[in-house]
A = this chain, B = another copy of it.
Amino acid sequence: MRDVAQHAGVSLSTVSRVLRGAPGVAPQVRQRVQDSADELSYVVSRNASGLVTGRTGRVAVVAPTLRPWFFGGVLAGLGDALGAADLDMLVYQVGEVRSRRGWTRALPLRRNADAVVTVSMDLSEEECRRLDDVGVPMVLTGQKVSGRASVFIDDREGAAAATRHLLNLGHTRIAYIGSRTPEWFSGSARDRLAGHRAAMAGAGLEPWSLVRSPDQEGGELAMGELLSAAEPPTAVLAEFDGIAMGAHRTLRRSGVPVPGAISLMGFDNHDAASVLDLTTVDQSPYDTGLAAGRLAVDILAGTARPDTHIEMPTQIILRHSTAAPRGARGLSS
């Protein structure tokens, strides 16, 4: 910066003003400084400016993992929203050791980010409070916590709608394949199961749910089990597309026609759902990320309240993996 000042023949203060776009600089001088900066291809160090302003120009994004397709979409949305506000995006993967190191890892954020966005972290109340200690605004995605900025979908209603779709087609023997890890039953897994159960209860039917590992294999195994039941289901709703894909695989291998003998439905609208012609509940991770990013920006700007809740829409995507059960003549009503 000193070099630029010298090159333009002005003081440090003036260069700083120009580069910050602050007022109080003659247009002519402003231009000259701008040119000098460009010529020396100079950019301000966020480090130094952050030191004095207290703002870092960075937003931390915390996710349990980055591998699944879902997170790429969210990150893309976040990146676009934050980039538009000239904020940089710091990405942290806290991994499965969250219970032990989770809050420790949160600390490095302390004065190194202006805001924190969590992605599908499924934080407990206590963890939320611990993050509050970091002292920066926080936006949660994938979960809804009262009093805190959240961007989420209505998992409960999504699963209920999916179930109603199957019910309306005339199915009565409907099974649900859910997931949980040995130590973790995620909030969205809980909500989807609850939504399914509520819809079943609404139709006066007994729920029939299996819980397996949250991956394709879980779906494969669960479907195998369902196929060997005394009276197999005529429709299956999976907690998410990955499970549905596993189930689909078992069905294909067993020669069970979909939707001929069994209707299959997923949740999330995974990239590959269209390949399998899988009926599913669509949600857009990109839009979720975009909304969360914008919310973070607005909270920082003071134009949004730090307890804003944004519900993202879900929508049933009808493809060809669901149909009326054999022998039915249409809507059950």
Contact = CB atoms under 8 A, between A and B. Distances in A.
Interface string A52-74: 00001010000001111101110
A271 interface: yes
A286 B89 CA distance: 20
Interface string A253-282: 000000000000000001110111100000
A66 B56 contact: no
Given A112-B45, A270-B272, A93 B69 contact: no
A208 interface: no
A45 B90 CA distance: 15
A229 interface: no
B47 A51 contact: yes
Contacts of A274: 216, 249
Tallying the copies of this chain within the complex gives 2
A74 to B, nearest CB: 9
Interface size on A, as a range, is 35 or more
A32 interface: no
Nearest to A274: B216
A127 interface: no
A79 B91 contact: yes
A42 B107 CA distance: 8
A3 interface: no
Given A67-B73, A112-B88, A47 B56 contact: yes
Given A43-B108, A72-B75, A248-B275, 20 more contacts: A45-B112, A47-B56, A48-B51, A66-B75, A67-B286, A68-B72, A71-B72, A72-B72, A75-B91, A79-B91, A80-B93, A83-B93, A90-B90, A245-B272, A246-B275, A249-B277, A271-B272, A272-B272, A272-B275, A275-B275
A-B pairs, 8 with minimum CB distance: A272-B272, A72-B72, A66-B76, A79-B93, A245-B275, A45-B111, A47-B50, A69-B69
